[in-house]
Each structure stands twice: as structure tokens, then as C-alpha cells.
Amino acid sequence: MTELIHRFSSGVFVIAATPFTEDGALDLVSTDRMIDFYLQTGVTGLTILGIMGEAPKLTGAESRSFVQRVLSRVDGRVPVIVTTSHFSTQVVVDRAREAEALGAAMLMMMPPYHGVGLVPGEAAIFEHFAAASDAVSIPIMVQDAPLSGATLPVPLLVRMAKEIENVSYFKMETPFAADKLAALIEAGGEHIVGPFDGEEAVTLLADLDAGCTGTMTSALQPELIRPIVTEYRAGNVDAALAQWRVCLPLINHENRQCGLRAAKTVMQAGGVIGSDHVRHPLKPMTDRTRARLLQLAAESDVIALRWGK
């Protein structure tokens, strides 16, 4: 699996939703259909148990069941990244070992955090990732996102890439992500195997300009975002820019108005999953926001809106 993920250090990795029934139970039947849909869009790989997948609202048993179901359905056809973030280093180590044992190709982790008042210093962050790396033999992606409240300076990230055996992938979602990606790539050199864009691809063009090799985006329009990456990396920058302009209205509406609810709503409308239910404390989107989302998705002719019909 490690060789598999290194072969796919570029491309489009979809952050999978976690389907629920209307009453909020984990929906594994819809999970199977959702995985089939993802694979048919031509994604490079999948990421599960991320924030977009509502992982903080799953029990430990539900998370385990979901990971097992996804990996079974994928059956090795594409690499699957399992998110194992937690404030407790021991919990992260336990999750990392379990994910690798179940067949994960990579782990993704935020730095440890538990609210703005409980963010450890750089030394503890380094030790947190080192402990996870020592527990497994698969690569680890560092998710650098404002949500954690932890500041990850470029020198710290470079040190992690050079000194922690399995840390070589970085997903950048901070403000001015492109500048940070460029600085990381320049300072880290060959130790930065996979510099990735995130945040629904809202900064994808700038991040590609900075040297990112792939993107980790939602399931809303992966088949339309994929050509942005492939065209750019093939040297067809004008074609990539043109395709990004096509995708941008839907990217913007998802990123600024809908959040993780967007992909679920469109997949339900297209028959991919049975319900777009999100667990409390999130609320369903307003009818106004939903109507605009479905209009933009229809205008873009996204596969999710017609896949199950």
C-alpha cells in the first residue's frame, strides 16, 4: 500500500462524506453506492473520516465500521487515506495502528488541539507526529488547517519531513496557502513528496502555481476538478485556468455557503445516497441556499446529480 500511495502522490483525492439515514444512523448501504460513484468519477483516491466526513460526530465503533466498509468496497482499486486526528497522542497511535491493519494506504492528521486554549507547543506537536509515525509503516499527511488553532511554521514542517520517517505529505489550508506551499517545497526539497491543496479547491490555481501536486477536495464535482490538475501538470496552464473558471461558482457556493452539506445534498438529489442528513449541532441548509446549490450543480452537469437516476 505504501508503494501504491507514492505512485499517486498527485491527482484528486475526494474527502468522502459519511452517509446517515434520516434518523441519523450510519447508512452503510448508501456508503456502498457512494464509493461506487466516487470510483466511477475517476478519482485518484479517497480520504475518509475527515471534517467533511463528520468524523468528530461518530462513535469509535461507527468509525471502525465505516473504515471497514469503505476499504472492503474499494478493494484496493485506489488508495484510501484514513484521518486519525485527536488531541490525545495515545488515541492517535491506537487509531493509526488500527487504520493500517485494516488496509489504509496513508494517514492524515491535524496537530493536536482541543479548543484555542489547549494547543501544545512545537516540541509536543513534533512528538505527536513522531509517535504516530513510529507506530506504523505507511505515510502520514499533515493537515495544516486553521481549525486546529495550531501554528505550524515552515521550519517545523521541514524538520518533521526530514526527521520523522513517515511524514512526507502536507495538505495546506491556511490563509495564503500558496506562499506557504512554495516556501515548504523550496525549503524541504526531496523530503516533500506530496504537497497538496485543500479547502474545496478554492485556492487550487494559486496552489498549483506554487508547486502543489494534487488536491484533496469534496465529492461535489471531482470529475470537473480533476482536469484542472491533469492539464496544469501536463503544461496546459491555460486549459487548467479555463476549467477552474468553470468550476469556481460551485466551489465558491460550497465553500462559503454550504460546507460539508453541499456534497450530501447533491448526492441525495442524484440518487447516490438515501439522505443528506447531517448530525447535530449542524443544521440543514436553508431552502434558498439549497436551491442555488442545485441550480449551479445542474448548470455544471455534475455526475453526482444524475448518477443514481
171 catalytic per annotation: yes
HEC assignment per residue over the chain: CHHHHHHCCCEEEEECCCCECCCCCECHHHHHHHHHHHHHCCCCEEEECCHHHCHHHCCHHHHHHHHHHHHHHHCCCCCEEEECCCCCHHHHHHHHHHHHHHCCCEEEECCCCCCCCCCCCHHHHHHHHHHHHHHCCCCEEEEECHHHCCCCCHHHHHHHHHHCCCEEEEEECCCCHHHHHHHHHHHHHHHCCEEEECHHHCCHHHHHHHCCCEEEECCCCHHHHHHHHHHHHCCCHHHHHHHHHHHHHHHHHHHHHHCCHHHHHHHHHCCCCCCCCCCCCCCCCCHHHHHHHHHHHHHHCCHHHCCCC
* Given the residues 57, 171, 264, 309, the one annotated as active site: 171
User: What residues are labeled active site?
Assistant: 171
